[in-house]
Structure 1
Amino acid sequence: MQTAFAPFLAVLAAYLLGSVPFAMISSKIFGLADPRSYGSGNPGATNVLRSGNKKAALLTLVGDALKGWLAVFAAQQAGFSDSVVGLVALAVFFGHLFPVFLKFRGGKGVATAAGVLFALDPLLGLAVLGTWLFVAFAFRYSSLAAVLAAALAPVYQVLMHGGDGRTLVVGILALALIGKHWQNLQRLLAGQESRIGSKKKR
């Protein structure tokens, strides 16, 4: 039976789970340098890929996505209200962006947001993932793919479900993702953004 503190504990646990830095974990497992020391300095899968180790990048991607999915799925299975599930979704996502274990300097949240969306609605997750894959393969820019997929996520949500309670959550995720990619957008406009798979040192 849920207590009055259960929602608070669920949100706190989601934040801590989101704070787990899989980029750092996978880098240590594969004996790589700290991902914050090269490339974009971002502790995420795309930057880990710049190390040349695809397995480490894949582990980072799967881990970051899985923690987003797991937090929301666990809250749903626990029988929390849609409002609490929405707060859990935001907590795990912002935990990745501002992780307590990395002095609140985390990744950009693309994989974690994808995991959250898949847990909220698999069809919505597939639509957003499909958008990311299309743009990424067509233009070879992870940041451009992330921004366009994020911008379209609320549109897909409204088209599929109208303005239900999840729309606000999806909208906040989208705005935060676009905000985290602001510098990438500036580099894209200047023709200085690195492409997927490129090796670039700081």
Structure 2
Amino acid sequence: MVFETVLFAIAAYMAGAIPFGKIIARFVAQIDITKRGSGNIGATNVARELGTKWGIITLLLDMLKGFVPVMLFSYLFSQAEPWNETALAGIGICALLGHMFPSSLRFRGGKGVATGLGVYFAFSPLSCLCSLVLFIIIVMIWNYISLASILAVAAMPLFLMLFGKPQPLIIGSLIMALLICYKHKVNIQDLIRGEERRWKDRKGKDIGN
């Protein structure tokens, strides 16, 4: 079981490291997304530079990077030892780390919101839905994607506790939330200074729509 878990953790990192945003931007618009906008490979920057449709596609693909490894491990080893839940949390974290620190991009990846969302959905669909609702409400009120992302992921461990999920998943989600907040440190500084870019200010060209 230990050997299989280690293999899955490595595979989860490799899956998380697939830079879908960079691939889509190169294929659709022949641009290097890491040199446009915020320089981020995530869905928000793709949407701003290429349009909403391609941002949504990037979002879904990045979510799958977190969702598939966790669900596949859960399916294959559902009858394994009690520490299976700890392994699930670890695999989810590895997928997130792959997205944030991909070796193919010199460990300069995305901020992890979409991939983390995929992991959270695998942990608890209902808790994830609550975080999504919170995200939408914050965007509608303040129009900051970064602020909504930070607060939504920060709330995820609380929702898992509320719905009685196992402690390893709660701790895993807390670690993931801290990692995502760390990757948003520049956004947090800009929010404090009142310099953060609002979603309504995006310049997406809706390429291909």
- For Structure 1 versus Structure 2, the TM-score category normalised by the shorter chain is over 0.9
Count residues with an aligned counterpart: 198
Aligned partner (choices 123, 130, 133) of residue 126 of structure 2:
123
1:117-141 Cα offsets, whole Å, 9 max, x none, are 0011101111111111111122111
Alignment of 1:29-178 (within 5 A): 29-79=27-77, 81-161=84-164, 164-178=167-181
- Percentage identity across aligned positions? 36
Instruction: Return 5+ residue gaps in structure 1 as ranges.
Output: none
Measured on the aligned residues, the alpha-carbon RMSD in Å equals 1.6
Using the TM superposition, name which of 12-21 and 191-200 deviates more. Answer: 191-200
Per-residue deviation, 1:55? 2.2
Matches of 2:30 and 2:49 in 1, distance apart? 8
Matches of 1:124 and 1:167 in 2, distance apart? 11
- 1:50 partner letter: R
- 8 A contact 2:26–2:33 mirrored in 1: no
Question: TM-score, normalization: structure 1?
Answer: 0.92
Q: Post-superposition, which runs of at least 4 consecutive aligned residues in structure 1 deviate over 4 A?
A: none
Using the TM superposition, name which of 145-154 and 26-35 deviates more. Answer: 26-35
Indicate whether 1:199 and 2:196 are aligned: no
1:15-66 Cα offsets, whole Å, 9 max, x none, are 0000001101111221242111122111111011111422221111111011
- 8 A contact 2:124–2:160 mirrored in 1: no
Name the structure 2 match of 1:17: 15
- 1:10 partner letter: F
Task: Call closer, same or farther: CA 1:64–1:150 in 2, change over 3 Å.
Answer: same
Question: TM-score, normalization: structure 2?
Answer: 0.89
Instruction: Return 5+ residue gaps in structure 2 as ranges.
Output: 205-209
- 8 A contact 2:85–2:166 mirrored in 1: no
Matches of 1:189 and 1:6 in 2, distance apart? 45
- 1:119 partner letter: A
- 8 A contact 2:70–2:92 mirrored in 1: yes
- 1:82 partner letter: E
- 8 A contact 2:16–2:95 mirrored in 1: yes
- 8 A contact 1:32–1:51 mirrored in 2: no
- 1:122 partner letter: P
